[in-house]
Amino acid sequence: MFVPLSVLEFRDRAATYFGDKVGVIDGEQQFTYRAYAERTHRLANALNGLGIEAGDRVSFITYNTHHLLEAYYGVLEAGAVLNPINIRLTPHEIAYILDHAGSKLVAFHRDFLPLVEAIVPQLTTRPRFVILEGEPGGIASDEYEALLSGGSPEPRHPQIDENATAELFYTSGTTGLPKGVALTHRELYLHSVHAEIALGFGEEDVILHVVPLFHVNGWGVPHFLTMVGGRHVMLRRFDPTALMELVQRHHVTRLLGVPAIFNALVHHHERANFDLSSLRQVIIGGSPASPVLVRALEEQLGVQAFVGYGLTETAPILTLAQPRRVLTDVEPPERRQERQALTGWPIPGVQIRVVDSEGRDVRPDGERIGEIVARGNSVMAGYYRDPDATAATIRDGWLRTGDMATIDEAGYVLIKDRSKDVIIRGGENISSVEVENALAAHPAVLECAVVAAPDGTFGEAPVALVVLKPGLEVSAKELKLFCRERLARFKVPREIHFRDTLPKGGTGKILKTELREPFWTGLESRVH
């Protein structure tokens, strides 16, 4: 008998087989999987009671809280579409998303009341607002816990169309207005199964949600961790000390995060004061990581560390740089860590290629650069209400990622740059990631970013922005000499600027657009 694929099955499985286990921890609040499932039923029934119908969009503006984790199932059980909002976006961008999505209801944490008040005047239609951990009144007509208490604890059994949109995520808008990525029940379900096969999470795993859940499910973890009965621990705001405290208190086994988060952890001056021995594995994603970081994590934390890669459009995981015994048994040990810093090889259910401008596969020699294209059952069918963007991104059944990479004989890809971040100096392509990795190898460098700056002779030239480790010093001249030992001369940064911090987005990724802009602002007036 045909049974539609839906992630609601994962919640029901957890409630049935792990019902008495504490499944969710948020601060001092703890919920067993049975209690968690009941709260999602109450949310579904409360939403239906407010007039939310099949296909309606329900948006959440909040931190990583149990409310949003409940929405991952409660909103879907109501037959609606979940739309988590990036809390780092501007009021104008969020207003655009709410209008474009046609959100019928917006739940927001009380801390974001000023943000919501700035959004409302820009909306063309007024959704219903629900406040989390606050008092109703003014903009908010309802309070979350009151809604749940009035909702029936009995499960609903909606008719699921597995090809209907279940979750709607908007890109950050770095290349224009945010685009809505519509992910179906089927895509989310199959991604969870494939990711679980690749990663092998189990009921003994405790995951600290560091990646914001508005960021493609925080890599899909809420679904496949629930499927196997693991424990969710919520981290509302990233802070290295808070992260280490939660790892120690709840015996967290795996962490997923961007390089900046793990850099902060490795170099934190209080790390020795915490027991982090429960950690077994860290997965680095969001932006390229250097072999230096992988080595530091393994040697200083005693974990397995490797890179993962994916997109909002792919639900999200495409590749993992997990070691393969068939390779590690015949290669020197240091090569293993080098491979684990690569972008990785495809998880089950995913096909990837690296192609040139004509769509032909590049030679798998680890040298030829092309664009990563992907297809699979977890890749989106298209952008929400945007056929032009869909047609530009999906060609001949393959998703164009915009990521420029090499592929080696073992099938590992290595991202060299986003296509928009490649620096073209006098006709030579320079990978900003390659230059960043060279800089990151210096013992005094905490983190860095390399961007293109205008150059009167060569058109563009690489410029580096560097943050040094506390208490360490190095001059720009010394760093350039260090780079010259590792890079061709034309790749060495023309300038090196030192910063106390680098700007980061909601997921912790360094915002290169902000760093690049000052070098180009006013260029036209200077040229003329």
| Residue 214 falls inside a structural domain | no
Same domain, 169 and 301: no
Same domain, 354 and 450: no
CATH number for 370: 3.40.50.12780
Instruction: Give the three-state DSSP class for 179.
Output: coil
Last residue of one domain, picked from the residues 418, 438, 470:
418
Q: How many domains does the chain have?
A: 3
Rounded Cα–Cα distance for residues 24 and 250 (Å): 11
Q: What is the tens place of the pLDDT at every residue in 239-254?
A: 999 999 999 999 999 9
Q: What is the tens place of the pLDDT at every residue in 19-55?
A: 999 999 999 999 999 999 999 999 999 999 999 999 9
Q: What is the tens place of the pLDDT at every residue in 96-105?
A: 999 999 999 9
Same domain, 40 and 151: yes
**pLDDT for residue 457:** 81
From residue 248, give the alpha-carbon distance in Å to each of 244, 256, 272: 6, 16, 12
Rounded Cα–Cα distance for residues 508 and 511 (Å): 9
| Residue 78 falls inside a structural domain | yes
Same domain, 133 and 244: no
| Residue 365 falls inside a structural domain | yes
Last residue of one domain, picked from the residues 121, 152, 184:
184
| Residue 210 falls inside a structural domain | no
The answer on pLDDT for 279 being more than 90 is yes
Q: What is the tens place of the pLDDT at every residue in 57-107?
A: 999 999 999 999 999 999 999 999 999 999 988 898 899 999 999 999 999
CATH number for 487: 3.30.300.30
User: Which two structure tokens, joined as six digits, stand for 231?
Assistant: 């424990």
Same domain, 294 and 400: yes
Same domain, 412 and 467: no
Rounded Cα–Cα distance for residues 45 and 71 (Å): 12
Same domain, 296 and 363: yes
Same domain, 245 and 273: yes
By DSSP bridging, strand 180-184 and strand 165-170 are antiparallel
Q: Which domain holds residue 411?
A: 238-418
| Residue 247 falls inside a structural domain | yes
Q: What is the tens place of the pLDDT at every residue in 147-158?
A: 999 999 999 999
Q: What pTM did the predictor assign?
A: 0.87
Mean pLDDT of the chain: 93
| Residue 462 falls inside a structural domain | yes
Q: Which residues contact 334 (CB under 8 A, 6 or more apart)?
A: none
User: Which two structure tokens, joined as six digits, stand for 354?
Assistant: 């690296």
Mind giving me the DSSP string for 447-486?
EEEEEEEEETTTEEEEEEEEEEPTT----HHHHHHHHHTT
Q: Which residues contact 325 (CB under 8 A, 6 or more apart)?
A: none
The answer on pLDDT for 416 being more than 90 is no
Banded pLDDT at 216 (limits 50, 70, 90)? low
Neighbours of 179 (CB within 10 A): 22
**pLDDT for residue 90:** 85
Same domain, 61 and 113: yes
Q: Which of 78, 74, 62 is nearest to 132 (CA)?
A: 62
Q: What is the tens place of the pLDDT at every residue in 452-497?
A: 999 878 878 999 999 999 999 999 999 999 999 998 888 999 999 9
**pLDDT for residue 220:** 83
**∠465-467-470 over CA atoms, to 5°?**
165
**pLDDT for residue 217:** 54
The predicted model gives 185-194 an average pLDDT of 97
Q: Which of 312, 85, 107 is nearest to 219 (CA)?
A: 312
Rounded Cα–Cα distance for residues 507 and 286 (Å): 8
Same domain, 337 and 449: no
Same domain, 459 and 492: yes
Rounded Cα–Cα distance for residues 244 and 429 (Å): 40
Last residue of one domain, picked from the residues 365, 394, 418:
418
Same domain, 382 and 446: no
Rounded Cα–Cα distance for residues 402 and 289 (Å): 18
What percent of the chain has pLDDT above 70?
A: 97
